[in-house]
Amino acid sequence: MDALEHINCPICERNETEELFSKDALSVVVCKRCSLRYVNPRINRETLEDGYIETYYPPDKVERIHTDSMEWLQMTERLSELEKHRQDKGRLLDVGCGIGTFLDLAREGGWEPYGVDPSKSGITFAQEIHKLDVQCGEVFDANFPTAYFDAITLYHVLEHIPALNPLLSELRRVLKPQTGTLVIEVPNGEGLQSRLQKADWPYVHPRDHLYYFSARSLPKLLRKHGFQDVTLGKPRRVSPTVGMGFALRQAATAALVRFHLGTVIRVYAS
C-alpha cells in the first residue's frame, strides 16, 4: 500500500466524520458538519500527481477517446449548456483539458480556448493534433493574469484534486468578477445510483476519486471562495443512436437530475 495522508474536511477544515464504507483498503467518510463525502486517509499527493503526469493518457486511451463518438457528443452537450448560461463568448479555460476535445469544439464555436492538464501525453496530443494553446502542469504554473477568463470549466476534475482550496482561490482570481462563469461537473455522491450501490458504484475508486460531492456540499465549497451566484445545471443523456429506448432513458435521467439524484451534478457559479 502506498503511503497515506490524513486530511481535514476541505469545507469545514475540521476532522469530524463517520465512515460510510471502505473499498480497496481505503475509507470513504462523511463530514458530520457539511455532509461532504471524501476519502480519509488517502493516497499521498505526490503518488497521485505522478500517476496523472506519466500514465493517465496512454496511447491506446488517447486513440479510443479521440475516435469515440460518445466523447464528442458529451463535449457538444457540455458546450451547448454553457452557451445557454452566457450571453457572450470570450476566453475559455478548461482545467484538466485532457486531449483537447472540448476546447477544439469551443474554438469552432467562437471561443478563445486555453487549457491546462498534468498529463504530458494528453497535452502533446492537444497541441499537435488540435493545435491548441494548452500547457502541461497545474493552473498555478500558467501564471494567468487576474480577471482574465470569461469562463472556466472543470469536467470530472475536481474530485481528483488533493488541495481544493488553493485551486478554487486561484480560479476565483483568474475569472472575471461578476461576469465570469465557473462550470464544475463531478460524480454525484448523493445520487440515486450511488445511494443504492454504495461501494459498488462505478465512480467509487478511492485511489484517485478523493471526494464524492453532492448538490449540497459543492455549492458550500464554492461559496466559501466567494462564488455567490451558484446554480445547478441540467446535464442531458446523449447517445449516437436514437429511438424509443433512448428517449425513455433520457426522460428518466432528466427526472433524476431535476431532484438532484442523477449520476453527475453540474454547477454554474460566478
Domain limits of the chain? Answer: 1-43+194-232, 45-185, 236-263
pLDDT over threshold 60, residue 1: no
Residue 49's pLDDT is 67
- Predicted pLDDT at 95: 98
Nearest to 184 by CA among 160, 202, 208: 160
Quick check: pTM over 0.85? yes
Least confident span in 54-58, 71-75, 157-161: 54-58
Residues 185-219 as b/e (b if ≥16 CB within 10 A, e otherwise) read bbbbbbbebbeeeeeebebbebbebbbbbbbebbb
C-alpha dist (Å) from residue 96 to 152, 174, 179: 11, 16, 22
> Is the pLDDT score of 13 beyond 80?
yes
Confidence band for 3, pLDDT divided at 50, 70 and 90: confident
- Mean pLDDT for 74-96 is 95
The architecture (CATH level 2) of 45-185 comes to 3-Layer(aba) Sandwich (3.40)
Q: How confident is the model at residue 188, as a pLDDT?
A: 98
What pLDDT is attached to residue 87? 84
What mean pLDDT do residues 113-134 have? 94
Amino acid 56: pLDDT: 72
